[in-house]
């Protein structure tokens, strides 16, 4: 049974997080999501969690943590993780990866599909959906009929709030930067809303992507191998042992010929370099066994 949330009421929220409360938050963030919070994150954590305290009508961080850790409370744990994740993303972010998909990955995928084999891509840590939709638009541009073939993009994130936005596929004016004009015309339906233009991802693009909630540091239910795993600007929030474990699991999940792409500020920890060979900017393939 879920623990009942206290009835929200107006309370004065304590202005500081004690060292002990912050230590509990750090431990929970690490154990639940793998996210490491340094002492410099105190102001960010305080501001984001204060919103949770206000919503729940809880006055102190200690009482909030007691509520969060007490009994079975998955909804609030999920809201806690949502509050702590950083979801910054954009369409065609780090555009060189999309150029690489067109020039190098597409010919491989085309040959696989022509042989009647399936193609699977995984956007791991997809945030509000801009990354998987950019992938879909890229391959749709290579082959306008690809959506009717055995081609799917799995897009996962730990945060249910971003997944709701991603599945809706509707973006405001301020979020469409980075999309080439030709894609804007082909892949979106534009409408005028009270607060500006709204861009809705068209069904042919949407139908190529499946959104699922998944904590990368827990068990993965997916069967089968991926032709491309793209996990950018996610590992940066994890410590090195967690990054190593994740990269080793990604390498196991890659097809023998599959690619892995990571973010521009991320690097492979030393113990994972034997598993993955660099083939481009922050782009890797499974190392061949000798």
Residues taking part in catalysis? 48, 157
User: Binding to ligand SAM by residue 33, rule CB under 6 A?
Assistant: yes
Please report the beta strands in the chain, taking only residues with DSSP state E, as ranges in sequence order: 119-124, 151-157, 170-172, 188-193, 196-201, 209-213, 226-231, 254-262, 276-280, 283-286
Residues in 126-155 that interact with ligand SAM by CB under 6 A: 127, 131
Say whether residue 157 binds ligand SAM (CB under 6 A): yes
- CA distances to 95, 116, 256 from 112, in Å: 24, 7, 13
Closest CA to 176 of 167, 189, 164: 189
Residue 284 β-bridge partners: 260, 278
Is 165 a residue that touches ligand SAM (CB under 6 A)? Answer: no
The region of 84-92, 137-145, 194-202, 221-229 touching ligand SAM under the rule CB under 6 A is: 84-92
- Asked whether position 14 contacts ligand SAM by CB under 6 A, the answer is no
Question: Which of 3, 50, 78, 86: binder of ligand SAM (CB under 6 A)?
Answer: 86
Tell me the closest approach of the beta carbon of residue 33 to ligand SAM, in angstroms: 4
Which residue, 21 or 214, is less far from ligand SAM as judged by CB?
214
**Positive or negative torsion for Cα 31, 32, 38, 39:** negative
Q: How big is the chain by its Cα radius of gyration, in Å? A: 21
The single residue listed with the structure tokens 């894609």 is 183
What SS3 state is found at 10?
coil
* Cα gap 218→204, rounded to integer Å: 32
Measured in whole angstroms, the distance separating CA 28 from the mean position of its chain's CA atoms is: 20
Does residue 83 touch ligand SAM according to CB under 6 A? no
Instruction: Find, among 167, 168, 164, 157, the residue nearest to 213 by Cα.
Output: 157
Q: Which of 60, 87, 198, 248 binds ligand SAM (CB under 6 A)?
A: 87
Among 88, 195, 224, 289, binds ligand SAM (CB under 6 A): 88
From 13-21, 41-49, 110-118, 233-241, span contacting ligand SAM (CB under 6 A): 233-241
Contact stretch for ligand SAM (CB under 6 A) within 5-13, 70-78, 231-239, 248-256: 231-239
**Segment contacting ligand SAM (CB under 6 A): 21-29, 147-155, 209-217, 277-285?**
209-217
Please report whether residue 35 would count as binding ligand SAM according to CB under 6 A.
yes
Q: Which residues bind ligand SAM (CB under 6 A)?
A: 33-35, 85-89, 93, 125, 127, 131, 157-159, 162, 215-217, 232-234, 237, 263
């Amino acid at each position: 049974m879920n623990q009942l949330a206290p009835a929200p009421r107006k309370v004065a929220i304590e202005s500081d997080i004690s060292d002990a409360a912050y230590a509990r938050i750090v431990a929970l963030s690490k154990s639940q999501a793998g996210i490491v919070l340094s002492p410099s994150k105190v102001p960010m954590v305080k501001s984001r969690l204060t919103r949770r305290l206000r919503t729940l009508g809880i006055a102190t961080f200690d009482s909030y943590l007691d509520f969060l850790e007490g009994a079975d409370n998955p909804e609030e744990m999920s809201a806690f993780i949502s509050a702590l994740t950083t979801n910054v993303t954009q369409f065609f972010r780090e555009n060189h990866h999309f150029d690489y998909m067109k020039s190098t990955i597409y010919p491989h995928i085309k040959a696989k599909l022509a042989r009647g084999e399936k193609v699977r891509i995984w956007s791991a840590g997809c945030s509000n959906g801009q990354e998987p939709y950019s992938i879909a638009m890229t391959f749709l541009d290579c082959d306008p009929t690809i959506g009717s073939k055995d081609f799917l993009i799995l897009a996962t994130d730990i945060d249910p709030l971003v997944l709701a936005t991603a599945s809706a596929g509707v973006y405001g004016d301020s979020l469409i930067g980075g999309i080439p004009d030709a894609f804007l015309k082909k892949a979106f339906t534009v409408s005028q809303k009270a607060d500006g233009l709204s861009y809705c991802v068209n069904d042919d693009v949407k139908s190529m992507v499946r959104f699922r909630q998944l904590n990368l540091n827990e068990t993965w239910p997916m069967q089968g191998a991926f032709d491309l795993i793209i996990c950018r600007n996610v590992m940066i929030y994890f410590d090195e042992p967690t990054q190593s474990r994740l990269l080793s699991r990604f390498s196991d999940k890659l097809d023998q010929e599959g690619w892995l792409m990571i973010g521009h500020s991320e690097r492979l920890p030393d113990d994972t370099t034997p598993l993955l060979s660099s083939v481009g900017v922050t782009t890797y393939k499974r190392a061949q066994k000798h």
